[in-house]
Structure 1
């Protein structure tokens, strides 16, 4: 069950778009879940090399911090307005974060069923946050990009299947969504990984059907394309992509698998990632 969702909302230098915010709220309404809007207010850093600080500089910093707080409050107000429109149970929080400190979303995510992260274009900080949440929170993460539609729907869902532990985990985490979907396509990209005989797509499709999922099975050759681009083509008209996330750790630095890196850098649709 997904009954408790976290929505971390950035305030600087970019905020979540109204489209992303509305779709996240609509998702919570669809699942009849509680939604926590966590607005992060970043502390304006002191410039290096200016010591002692002049009165004028301190005034400028206070003015800039006030502007950041105003943006954070506006983001919280936008969240509250959307949640009120949708009639969902919610909690809105502003958390102040100093430069270099860990993101507060991690602790909150570990106490929620799902974290929905608005995709901020050209933001390495957003990619780093999603990556950290996927590999360290122990919970699934749904990356919510800008979309053509203003509302979240589950008319069509694509599930990437390669018989890996991560893809099994993703399917289990997404089961409440899969059961609500009108059409679920289980997609295996051939010529990618060797599929074990005892973990075939047909067996998984039968398992999903027993769980009241309306599922069909598809195989596709990737040819000269990457797995990420192949999945993009297969999910071109999908409302949601479900996939396992892959990465290799070296002293807490993750080197992402190609398909995972592709999705994080080029999110085209809501994508649920689990590890």
Structure 2
């Protein structure tokens, strides 16, 4: 069971859907939900001959703090109607970016949630920065929630994108409280066929999940001419999968940003929530 959940509010339209799912999870697991707004306080611009700080900086900071408190007040009004234990607060990012600062507030969380892109180009870069900071800086799994994706709980159908890697097995084990509720879990291997070396570890993982009383089937797919992320998401859509579990950033983040990669493509394109572990 998850006992501490944290959600980062990004200022994106998808925040509302992510918050709805966070409240559902908190109710399902009798968990406490921490909701974090952030105030990004910029570094003052100075010149070579400056002796004292720019006097206008204090006014700018005060205005930003007031906006943060206004957003916090609106959040509290929204949460007052929910029958879950929650805490909402503002985190100030002074001389540091807000996503990394908020990520360092998640060390005591079982799971972090954040808005996902859902294939929409608007604000996708900023959302990706939030996602990567939470996944790589907090040490906690991250559930990304695209706009208009609100699965019912318990899950009817979940899916694991299996690779025999540290990141994937971390994701699977961190997702056990979520998977334990699912009607069916499909462990999907995108491979070369029946002789794929990943299949042996996949079979062992299926048996492991069954011993946890999680009904699990093994699915062996071929990507064909498609990328791995596209093949996974196409199968998830055709099968009615509600949540996808995947390892995040098996390669370096820079390599994935420059050359593309499964983690980045899943985050940017998925229209269902994706549970990432690292």
Same structural fold, with TM-score higher than 0.5 when normalized by the shorter chain: yes
Structure 2 unaligned residues grouped into runs of 5+:
none
Q: How many pairs are equivalent?
A: 264
Give the structure 1 partner of residue 7 of structure 2: 7
CA deviation vs aligned residue, 1:101-136 (integer Å, no higher than 9, x gap) = 463222222221111112265242321221122223
Conserved? CA contact 1:42–1:68, under 8 Å: no
Q: Tell which deviates more after alignment, 201-210 or 39-48.
A: 39-48
Structure 2 matches for 1:48-127, cutoff 5 A? 61=60, 64-65=63-64, 68-69=67-68, 71-81=70-80, 84-85=81-82, 87-98=83-94, 100-101=96-97, 103-119=100-116, 121-127=122-128
Give the structure 2 partner of residue 210 of structure 1: 211
Aligned equivalents of 2:97, 2:54: Cα separation in 1: 26
Structure 1 pair 60–3 and aligned structure 2 pair: CA distance change class (3 A) = closer
Conserved? CA contact 1:143–1:267, under 8 Å: no
Aligned equivalents of 2:243, 2:43: Cα separation in 1: 38
CA deviation vs aligned residue, 1:53-82 (integer Å, no higher than 9, x gap) = 999x7798478536623542245325523x
1:26 aligned to 2:30? Answer: no
Alpha-carbon deviation of 1:46? 5.5
Aligned equivalents of 2:54, 2:136: Cα separation in 1: 43
Structure 2 matches for 1:177-256, cutoff 5 A? 177-191=178-192, 195-196=196-197, 199-236=200-237, 237-249=240-252, 254-256=254-256
Structure 1 unaligned residues grouped into runs of 5+:
none
TM-score by length of 1: 0.82
Cα RMSD of the aligned pairs, angstroms, is 3.0
Structure 1 pair 110–69 and aligned structure 2 pair: CA distance change class (3 A) = closer
Structure 1 pair 124–98 and aligned structure 2 pair: CA distance change class (3 A) = farther
TM-score by length of 2: 0.81
Aligned equivalents of 1:197, 1:243: Cα separation in 2: 15
Aligned equivalents of 1:181, 1:273: Cα separation in 2: 17
Structure 1 pair 35–63 and aligned structure 2 pair: CA distance change class (3 A) = closer
